[in-house]
Structure 1
Amino acid sequence: MSRKSIIITVVLLIGLGALYLLSDAPLPVDVTVAETGEVKAFIEERAKTSLPRIYRIAMPLNGRVLPITVEEDEKVSEGQIVASMDTSDLDAEVAKAQYRVEQFARKIVEQSDTRLEDNSLVQFDEFLKSMDLTVEAASKQQDASKAKWQYARDEFDRKYQLFKRSALSESELNEADLFKKQSEIDYQKDILTWRSLQAIQSAMQIGKISILKYKEKKELSTAVLQEEQKEAQSQLDQLLRDQKRATMRSPVDGTILTRNYSNERTLAAGDILLEIGRLQDLEVEVDVLSQYVGDIQIGSLVDIEGPAIGKQSVRGKVKRIYPKGFTKVSSLGVEQQRVKVIVSFDQSLWKQLKEQQRSLGTDYRVRVKIYTEIKQDVVKVSRSALFRNASGQWQAYVVRNNKAILTDVKTGVMNDFDAEIEKGIQSGERVIIAPSMNLQPGESVEPQVIREL
């Protein structure tokens, strides 16, 4: 092509472009239709399955463990033997300890004949009971005599006042005085009687103590033997406990999660042999940014999804929110303050997994959507149709009479996909998706409805 032909072609193209720009041809735009429906605000995070408790079977003491035959993913029942130790040396120690305890028992029987002292103590106890009742009766008699004396004294004082006013004869006054003195003497006699009985009671108690001291001296050798027997019994009990612990049983109906050893070997006390868990208690552990945790409540609905779950998501609920946060470094190296949240599975999980012939264990990766607010029957549009102006006001382009009308809107619940419109857009209106920066208010447009975003 000649240089002249190229120049002519360029000029023609520029002219056609200018003609198109100057014409009123409508601008093609993608639109979505505002509709009435449900809008959910949610927090989406990566998470993992976990168990609220893992039961660890550990070596109870230093020794040799026999081969462990149970394997990972094997079902075990509560009380089932899952591991055992070689107890040949322990069995011999138990037999020796049992013989020592029996020897001490025989010696104690020989040294513990205190029947005479026991009979004497029984007699003293019965006599002391009788003395206790006698002393108590004397004490009550003393209280009665005291009350009688106080009454006689008060009566004498009353009659003396009457005598002074010549309202009582002298003989009646003398009679009241005699009654007062007799009551006082009776009271003093009862005090002496009570104290005498107390002295007798104390003497009898001293006699009993003397017998007890004699018995204590006689039983000294028996007490020493008994203490030695207790020590021997304690050693035997410890050996029997070790013997019992050497047979390790499953504490629950569960599944073997981890088997650290399979062959016979010598291990130290505390080494973990097996981990057992109840997979039916599986839950989800998710670390949520602390600024969002305030929007989450116990019982908030959760959708759990991911390849580990299958094609369909499973519903769950927030079970627990930890009261303390922690710092976690993101994949981009940014320190973030997060809070651990525990989500419980809906029981339909196991039916769904069975239908899909899938299994689920602990520490499997999943994704969760924790719903913080759900609204029904509201006007909603695609989130991509909204934008903010310079002052922060939410706006959207609504197509009316094939023209792009810039409209201020008031939003409600929002997520990454949908937004609730409280004011500015009606259900059924067409809204431009991701409007161009060059789009002008009132400009003619050619809308093309997008069904799926």
Structure 2
Amino acid sequence: MSRKSIIIMVILFCGLGVAYFLSGTSLPVDVTVAETGEVKAFVEERAKTTLPRIYRIAMPLNGRILPITVNEDQKVTKGQVVAQMDTSDLDAEVAKAKYRVEQFAKKIIEQADNRLEDNSLDQFDEFLKSMDLTVEAASKQQEASKAKWEFARSEFDRKYQLSKRNAISESELNEADLFKKQSEIDYQKDILTWRSLQAVQSAMQIGKISILKYKEKKVLSEAVLKEEQKEAMSQFDQLQRDRKRAIMHSPIDGTILTRNFENERTLPAGEILLEIGQLEDLEVEVDVLSQYVGNIRIGSPVDIEGPAIGNQIVHGKVKRIYPKGFTKISSLGVEQQRVKVIIGFENNIWKELQKQKRNLGTDFRVRVKIYTEIKENVVKVPRSTLFRNGSGQWQAFLVRNKKTVLVDVEPGVMNDFEAEIQTGIKAGDQLIVAPSMNLTPGQSVEAHVIKNL
């Protein structure tokens, strides 16, 4: 269509409108009646079901996992075995560590046994007592030998002087000389015996000290063995814990949510094998635009609906509002700042849906309406009857005596469908729905009441 044709059509339509207005014919309009009731302000968002806690079963250490026989959606009980590693290598390590601990225990017992040393010390004590007496006797004996030798020497000197005066015979002098020499030999022998016994006595004392030192060394060796035993026991305990962890149990009564592996394979420590949750604790997680979160409170009522739940609307309440927001890109590519909000079901919706033969699990899509404010017994009108003028003032067209009346209004709580009117409109007033931009005050209209918008 050409530009000229468009201009002609616009002029024709305007002319027809002016002619219709000047003709005095009433303009048909759709109206609704303001009424008293409840108005709710809400934030509506897409959301998903979630669980407050998901229990993850992971590989406790590097090794080979045996086939996992539990399936998704299978019920498990607390303590039930849900996965198990091949423990043949672990069993061998545990047995080796146990043997090492036992060997250390035997060595410690041997080191702590001092019966032989104690008996030897007792014998040395008895020997030393006897040796003390023997050494003392030898000392006395050499003293006696010395006295005898000194006597024999003096006697020989006396007889030698007598022999010079021919007072004694030569044989008597020889006897005195022999007696002197024998006494000297006996004295030397007794000195040698005494010193030999002293040496034996010292050797026995050294032997006793050696045994005492050996006992002290055994005590130190026992301490070292005990420390090594502690290390061996620590390794043994660690291997036992690893052996125990190799058999993985369910920490709760719950449902298998995810099974990441089925067949036997070698996996590193930390690899997630299973996820387990309690579906009866289901809640809803929603990302709300940050500018709306300020109006949401803990305990704010929520309506939850969606195909996952069915045709019904279920109720919930806000349980938790995260203190930190995050950036999220919308489906239109717009960067938005959002805050995570957690909603709890008022009733055990999971059990109710089970009775209805409907399955609801985690990460199911739903839609929520979080009510931020509720006003009761107020004048309310459909949202489509209100509009703003050029200065931003809220206005509405009323129908009184078949004439249009333009009024300024002050709305209160509103949502996408209805609004509270604080001033300008009272219950029973007729308001024009979606008024035309060409509508003017005082214009004659023929009202057609619409009951349900």
TM over 0.5: yes
CA change 1:390–1:21 in 2 (3 A) is closer
Equivalent positions of 1:10-409 (< 5 A) are 20-113=20-113, 217-409=217-409
CA deviation string 1:6-42 (max 9, x = no partner): xxxxxxxx99998754322211101111111110001
Instruction: Provide the rounded CA distance (Å) in 2 between the counterparts of 1:236 and 1:440.
Output: 93
CA change 1:248–1:22 in 2 (3 A) is same
Q: Is the 8 A contact 2:280 2:348 kept in 1?
A: no
Q: Is the 8 A contact 1:384 1:417 kept in 2?
A: yes
Q: Is the 8 A contact 2:57 2:275 kept in 1?
A: yes
Instruction: Provide the rounded CA distance (Å) in 2 between the counterparts of 1:397 and 1:16.
Output: 23
Deviation at 1:341, TM superposition (A): 1.1
Deviation at 1:113, TM superposition (A): 4.4
Q: Is the 8 A contact 1:314 1:348 kept in 2?
A: no
Q: Is the 8 A contact 2:282 2:350 kept in 1?
A: no
Q: Is the 8 A contact 2:64 2:86 kept in 1?
A: yes
2:45 alignment partner, SS class:
strand
Amino acid at match of 2:228: E
CA deviation string 1:225-284 (max 9, x = no partner): 111211211111111111101100011111111101111111111111111111122111
CA change 1:411–1:222 in 2 (3 A) is same
CA deviation string 1:302-333 (max 9, x = no partner): 11111112111111111111111111111111
Amino acid at match of 1:22: L
CA change 1:29–1:93 in 2 (3 A) is same
CA change 1:332–1:19 in 2 (3 A) is closer
Amino acid at match of 1:262: E
Amino acid at match of 1:346: E
2:256 alignment partner, SS class:
strand
Deviation at 1:350, TM superposition (A): 3.0
Deviation at 1:352, TM superposition (A): 3.9
Q: Is the 8 A contact 1:310 1:356 kept in 2?
A: no
1:90 alignment partner, SS class:
helix
Instruction: Provide the rounded CA distance (Å) in 2 between the counterparts of 1:17 and 1:304.
Output: 48
Instruction: Provide the rounded CA distance (Å) in 2 between the counterparts of 1:215 and 1:410.
Output: 102
Amino acid at match of 2:25: A
TM-score (norm 2): 0.72
2:360 alignment partner, SS class:
coil
CA change 1:114–1:52 in 2 (3 A) is farther
Instruction: Provide the rounded CA distance (Å) in 1 between the counterparts of 2:447 and 2:262.
Output: 70
CA change 1:287–1:215 in 2 (3 A) is farther
Amino acid at match of 1:112: A
Q: Is the 8 A contact 2:280 2:351 kept in 1?
A: no
Which one is further off, 72-81 or 421-430? 421-430
Deviation at 1:110, TM superposition (A): 2.1
Q: Is the 8 A contact 2:404 2:443 kept in 1?
A: yes
Q: Is the 8 A contact 2:279 2:350 kept in 1?
A: no
Q: Is the 8 A contact 2:398 2:407 kept in 1?
A: yes
Deviation at 1:89, TM superposition (A): 1.8
Instruction: Provide the rounded CA distance (Å) in 2 between the counterparts of 1:32 and 1:17.
Output: 25
2:261 alignment partner, SS class:
coil
1:103 alignment partner, SS class:
helix
CA change 1:62–1:33 in 2 (3 A) is same
Q: Please, what is the CA RMSD of the aligned residues?
A: 2.5
CA deviation string 1:172-192 (max 9, x = no partner): xxxxxxxxxxxxxxxxxxxxx
Paired residue for 2:170? none
CA change 1:18–1:381 in 2 (3 A) is closer
Q: Is the 8 A contact 2:34 2:380 kept in 1?
A: yes
Q: Is the 8 A contact 2:380 2:421 kept in 1?
A: yes
1:219 alignment partner, SS class:
helix
Q: Give me the identity figure in percent.
A: 76
Paired residue for 1:164? none
1:98 alignment partner, SS class:
helix
Instruction: Provide the rounded CA distance (Å) in 2 between the counterparts of 1:87 and 1:343.
Output: 44
Instruction: Provide the rounded CA distance (Å) in 2 between the counterparts of 1:214 and 1:347.
Output: 79
Gaps of 5+ in 1: 1-13, 116-212
TM-score (norm 1): 0.72
Q: Is the 8 A contact 1:79 1:252 kept in 2?
A: yes
Q: Is the 8 A contact 1:395 1:408 kept in 2?
A: yes
Larger radius of gyration: 2
Gaps of 5+ in 2: 1-13, 116-212
Q: Is the 8 A contact 2:328 2:336 kept in 1?
A: yes
CA change 1:351–1:276 in 2 (3 A) is closer
Q: Is the 8 A contact 1:32 1:432 kept in 2?
A: yes
